[in-house]
């Protein structure tokens, strides 16, 4: 049977953004209003600066309004909470994203939970996490949502369905692992969540028809941990030095895993580009729900 299909996350993300751009045009024509996303960044973490810049550019590229609020890392938690309160009340603002990580003197849980859940386009608010857990329609975190879109598309391409498959997610963070597990459970997968205390992780992974790696360790998942014919989604983004040059690698040993996997996401150009595309998707959805417009399919 065929193996080693590379899932084109960058290409899928591009076509999703193209579809979203059409929705934005249609919404403007029908209602004379433009969805607006506000990204807040505190401090000057270089990786966060890059993400925020690219979020702003992508937002504008599909015709939406983008605002970026840059605050110094001396900002107090109260000042940030006040800003969020102002943005919550501002009817022009449809989506609010506070870039993580926040400086150490702030509680990210407290800050995220200050965002109006209807404007929480990252889907990290406890209300949105709770809706996902009980199967209500809410805002779903971008990286797991994008990962699910790629999985569904890969399954479709092989005349396959996700229902009934053994899914193993390595990682249990609130932003990736846990919501990914909820999404796959909602797809009728049999879901295992593995983490740093899991025993015999290699064996757990070898049972996976769907393996999602969200660990944050370069090439941590060895090729021979991958079941023959599995779908592999590599969420990891790790910067390593190779031959004196900086390079991005995933949590999966791609070269070792590729020939065993039926389909696998590369790093870069896999899950990464889907995250921002899903952020735009969530902002349009939030805009429509706030204005009681039907959410475009």
Which residues make up each annotated binding site? 171-173, 237
Q: What is the DSSP letter of 98?
A: E
**Is residue 69 helix, strand or coil?**
strand
Q: State the number of binding residues for ligand NDP (CB under 6 A).
A: 26
Question: Which range touches ligand NDP (CB under 6 A), out of 66-74, 108-116, 253-261, 268-276?
Answer: 268-276
Binding residues for NADP(+): 171-173, 237
Q: Residue 266, interface with ligand NDP (CB under 6 A)?
A: no
Q: Residue 195, interface with ligand NDP (CB under 6 A)?
A: yes
Rounded distance, CA 281 to CA 123, Å? 12
55 is catalytic: yes
| Residue 231 half-sphere exposure toward CB, CA atoms < 13 A | 27
**Residues between 156 and 185 that touch ligand NDP (CB under 6 A):** 170-173, 175-177
Exactly one of 118, 120, 122, 253 is catalytic; name it.
Answer: 122
Q: Residue 197, interface with ligand NDP (CB under 6 A)?
A: yes
Q: Which is nearer to ligand NDP, 93 or 168 (CB)?
A: 168
Rounded distance, CA 154 to CA 270, Å? 12
Residue nearest ligand NDP, Cβ-based:
173
Q: Residue 235, interface with ligand NDP (CB under 6 A)?
A: yes
**Residues between 13 and 32 that touch ligand NDP (CB under 6 A):** none
**Burial tier of 250 (Cβ tally within 10 Å: 0-12, 13-18, 19+):** buried
200 is catalytic: no
Q: Which is nearer to ligand NDP, 31 or 53 (CB)?
A: 53
86 is catalytic: no
Rounded distance, CA 34 to CA 290, Å? 12
CB atoms within 10 A of CB 281: 25
Rounded distance, CA 106 to CA 99, Å? 13
């Amino acid at each position: 049977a065929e193996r080693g299909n590379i899932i084109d996350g960058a290409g899928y993300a591009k076509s999703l953004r193209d579809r979203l751009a059409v929705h934005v045009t249609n919404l403007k024509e029908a209602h004379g209003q433009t969805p607006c996303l506000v990204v807040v960044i505190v401090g000057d973490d270089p990786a966060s600066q890059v993400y925020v810049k690219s979020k702003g550019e992508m937002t504008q590229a599909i015709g939406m309004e983008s605002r970026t609020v840059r605050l110094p890392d001396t900002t107090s938690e109260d000042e940030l909470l006040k800003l969020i309160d102002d943005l919550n009340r501002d009817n022009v603002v449809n989506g609010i994203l506070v870039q993580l990580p926040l400086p150490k003197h702030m509680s990210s849980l407290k800050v995220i939970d200050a965002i109006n859940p209807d404007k929480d386009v990252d889907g990290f608010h406890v209300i949105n996490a709770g809706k996902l857990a009980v199967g209500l329609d809410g805002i779903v975190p971008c990286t797991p949502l994008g990962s699910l879109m790629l999985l569904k598309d890969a399954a479709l391409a092989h005349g396959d369905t996700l229902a009934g498959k053994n899914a193993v997610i390595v990682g249990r963070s609130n932003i990736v692992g846990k919501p990914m597990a909820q999404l796959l459970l909602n797809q009728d997968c049999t879901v295992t969540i593995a983490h740093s205390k899991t025993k015999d992780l290699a064996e757990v992974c070898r049972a996976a028809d769907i393996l999602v790696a969200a660990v944050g360790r370069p090439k941590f998942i060895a090729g021979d941990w991958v079941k023959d014919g599995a779908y592999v989604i590599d969420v990891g983004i790790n910067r390593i030095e190779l031959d004196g040059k900086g390079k991005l690698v995933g949590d999966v040993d791609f070269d070792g895993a590729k020939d065993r996997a039926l389909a696998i996401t590369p790093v870069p150009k896999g899950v990464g580009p889907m995250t921002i595309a899903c952020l735009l998707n969530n902002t349009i959805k939030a805009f429509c729900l706030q204005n009681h417009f039907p959410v475009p399919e």
